[in-house]
Amino acid sequence: MKKPLEFQVHEPGKLELIQPVRPSNRTPFQDLLLKHEYTGCKYTLPKGSSSFRLLPAIKGSPNWMQKVTALDHCNGRHTHPKSLRPDAPPSVFDLAEQWLKQHQPQALWSKSNPNGYKLWGGQVAACWVLVDAPQVPKLGILIASTFGGSKQVPVAGLGYQIQDMVRKNPELLDPDEGSQITVTRSYEPGSKYPHTHLVWNQTNRSLNECLGDLSAEDLKLVCPIQDTIRQIEFDREWMLLSRVIGSELTEKIRDATAGGS
């Protein structure tokens, strides 16, 4: 059988487990993590249960899951420039946090100042999934938190849970297997955070067989996951910062840092 997509070969023992990170209180409205042409691919888990298959790394990609530092602003979130390029210059939010630490530390968030500005990023990860549907499965990009849980928030993010399940069951990334994940989300009485339950299922059709049901147009969408991530233009990031700390303070910091150049 001709394979619909070419995947990158990885050794199961080399799958990287994402380390727990501190949480970030996000209330995203405008998600700018994905490039414009892929925003329609974003998969949002419905209430109750849903099932999907994970796509292995597409040929030419270093991994099947792309870790991203998501910077929050009051109208959504966007990608920290170092998420894709470790040698990239600091983000505008980094420059603002450094300047405020030096000149107005009381303006930043702390346990004693919960109303201060939070300018650091929260960790998420993106991956391609093939979502189970009544007739033909649908391709999507799942973006999920990689927070590993804490005493204050004893619930690990979905991205962390999926990565951990793959580490324990590497066959979930075998395109010739019929593995899929069923996710059930529910709220327990008195709980502030949803309870997410993951189950690994074995089906009678492989991922490659299911991909064969898709149109050529749909398959053309699939690319290395890192190529779907959007990098915000420098000038626009200053505008996004102004939504957090206000235009006047933003201009003051921009002038003081020579625009970050």
Domain ranges of the chain: 19-250
**If pLDDT is split at 50, 70 and 90, which confidence band does 5 have?**
confident
84/17: higher pLDDT: 84
Tokens of 120: 């650091």
Per DSSP, the residues of 109-159 read -BTTBTTSB--SEEEEEEEEEEE--SSS-EEEEEEEE-----SSS----HH
User: Would you say 111 and 14 are in contact if contact means Cβ atoms under 8 Å apart?
Assistant: no
Please state, in angstroms and rounded to a whole number, the distance separating the CA atoms of residues 161 and 7: 23
- The per-residue pLDDT for range 178-201, each reduced to its tens digit, is 999 999 988 777 777 778 899 999
Which segment of 166-170, 187-191, 200-204 scores lowest on mean pLDDT?
187-191
Phi, psi (deg, nearest 5) at residue 194: -70, 150
pLDDT at 251: 96
Tell me which amino acid residue 243 is.
R
Which segment of 6-15, 17-26, 249-258 scores lowest on mean pLDDT?
17-26
**If pLDDT is split at 50, 70 and 90, which confidence band does 29 have?**
low
Please state, in angstroms and rounded to a whole number, the distance separating the CA atoms of residues 76 and 28: 4
DSSP-based three-state secondary structure for 29: coil
Specify whether domain 19-250 bears CATH 3.90.198. yes
Q: 123 — alpha (psi -120 to 50), left (phi > 0) or beta?
A: beta
Please state, in angstroms and rounded to a whole number, the distance separating the CA atoms of residues 85 and 11: 24
